Amino acid sequence: MLIRPVESSDLGSLVTVFRACWNISYRDLISAEVRESMDVATTTNLLAASANPKPGRFTLVAIEDETLGFASFGNDAEDESRGHLFSLYVSPESAGKGVGSKLLTEVIAHLEQRDKQEITLWVFKENPTAIGLYRKFGFSETGREKTDERWQIPQIEMLRKAITQ
């Protein structure tokens, strides 16, 4: 498996992975109405920034014969001293095969190289698989919760604190 920085030509693959996650992995989590609203055009618009990141934002893709997953990250908008994981998606066919762990390892390394010793993220509250992955990497719940009007389900914030020696 190769993990590399995104290229603008990867946008179609990002859309495919995202929509597969929403329509397969999130089928019992997100309402049909919300999932249906994320058609190809809407998803393409949503992910265009991930495929063409601005300075301070990054996207990595995991590829074998096809795109297996991707992760977008950068600075935390509320605290520039922290990094933030904006999204981590792994194709349903690749779930449980270490793709998410490898992407998350690379994200953490990239952020630490940029002196981002603490990292935040928001995850769907009812997504125990993702929460379990983040916990394995040292993230813990902060107690903050929000509901994005686009997704219409609660999310929780998680934080990976600086590792001190």
- Return all residues near 130 (Cβ < 8 A) that are at least 6 apart: 88, 123, 124
Domain enclosing residue 16, as ranges: 2-160
Q: Is residue 42 in a domain?
A: yes
Is residue 38 helix, strand or coil?
coil
Q: Is residue 86 in a domain?
A: yes
Low-confidence stretches of the chain (pLDDT beneath 70): 164-165
What is residue 102's predicted lDDT score, i.e. its pLDDT?
Answer: 96
Measure the CA–CA gap between 55 and 148, rounded to whole angstroms: 25
Candidates 106, 101, 107; CA nearest to 73 is 107
**Reported pTM:** 0.92
Please state the domain count of the chain.
Answer: 1
Could you tell me the CATH number of the domain that includes residue 28?
A: 3.40.630.30
Q: Is residue 154 in a domain?
A: yes
What is residue 164's predicted lDDT score, i.e. its pLDDT?
Answer: 57
Half-sphere exposure of 163 (CA within 13 A, CB side): 7
Q: Is residue 39 in a domain?
A: yes
Measure the CA–CA gap between 104 and 116, rounded to whole angstroms: 14
Q: Is residue 165 in a domain?
A: no
Q: Is residue 149 in a domain?
A: yes
Q: Is residue 74 in a domain?
A: yes
Task: Identify the residue whose tokens are 């990054």.
Answer: 58
Q: Is residue 127 in a domain?
A: yes
H helices present in 27-125, as ranges: 32-37, 40-51, 99-113
Residues 106-119 have pLDDT tens digits of 999 999 999 998 99
Measure the CA–CA gap between 137 and 106, rounded to whole angstroms: 12
